[in-house]
């Protein structure tokens, strides 16, 4: 759906407020934009990563082959999706797990027959820190998920979020508007509906 279509759907949910009497268009847009941020913050990154834009930034490695990625106000929970080893001109394999010390294990990261030479480049991501191996990596490019652009009232504007998430977005926006009108029961009903759908999506990712 385009943004104007989302606004129309939201109007019908709000007691057929097609004349924008109870809530004007700007209020509805603000509610939709707030819903986008909530959806991105609560949904597993695997669900939203295919439809969201990424931002590239360069970082120098500090002690122990670690860089701390800071000043990313538009990032979604430090959703780092790609790391380029610029020192060796190759992408890092991002390894799962929670122990960066594993990167010093030659067996795990690929030692060639005991020679001590690491094959490829590897990275582990923890919060806003990226640990890399081998130690020869001095500079990396990092791509991270950024929040979708704000919606605007234009016939050409379209949400960057996948269309399969639009119903949840509408539920969250509806809840936001009912809250602002102090209609807590209606707000809770819409919010609970959204949260139930988000839980289903997150459970599906966890079971895969």
Higher-confidence position of 204 and 18? 204
Q: 24-60 burial string, b = 16+ CB within 10 Å, else e? A: eeebbbbbbbebbebbbebbebebbeeebeeeeeebe
pLDDT in tens, 101-139: 555 555 444 444 454 555 578 787 776 678 887 778 888
Q: pTM (2 decimals)?
A: 0.77
Identify the band that residue 178 occupies on the pLDDT scale cut at 50, 70 and 90.
very high
CA 79 to chain centre: 6
């Amino acid at each position: 759906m385009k943004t104007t279509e989302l606004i129309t759907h939201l109007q019908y949910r709000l007691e057929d407020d097609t004349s924008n009497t109870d809530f004007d268009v700007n209020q509805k847009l603000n509610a939709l934009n707030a819903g986008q941020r909530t959806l991105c913050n609560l949904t597993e990154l695997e669900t939203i990563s295919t439809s969201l834009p990424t931002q590239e930034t360069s970082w120098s490695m500090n002690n122990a082959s670690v860089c701390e990625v800071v000043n990313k106000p538009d990032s979604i929970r430090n959703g780092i999706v790609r790391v380029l080893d610029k020192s060796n001109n190759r992408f890092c394999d991002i390894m799962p797990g929670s122990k960066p010390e594993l990167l010093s294990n030659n067996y795990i990261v690929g030692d060639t027959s005991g020679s001590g030479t690491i094959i490829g480049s590897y990275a582990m991501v923890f919060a806003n820190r990226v640990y890399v191996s081998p130690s020869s990596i001095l500079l990396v490019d990092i791509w991270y998920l950024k929040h979708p652009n704000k919606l605007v009232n234009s016939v050409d504007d379209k949400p960057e979020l996948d269309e399969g998430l639009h119903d949840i977005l509408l539920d969250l926006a509806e809840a936001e508007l009912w809250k602002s009108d102090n209609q807590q029961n209606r707000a809770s009903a819409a919010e609970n509906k959204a949260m139930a759908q988000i839980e289903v999506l997150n459970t599906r990712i966890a079971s895969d």
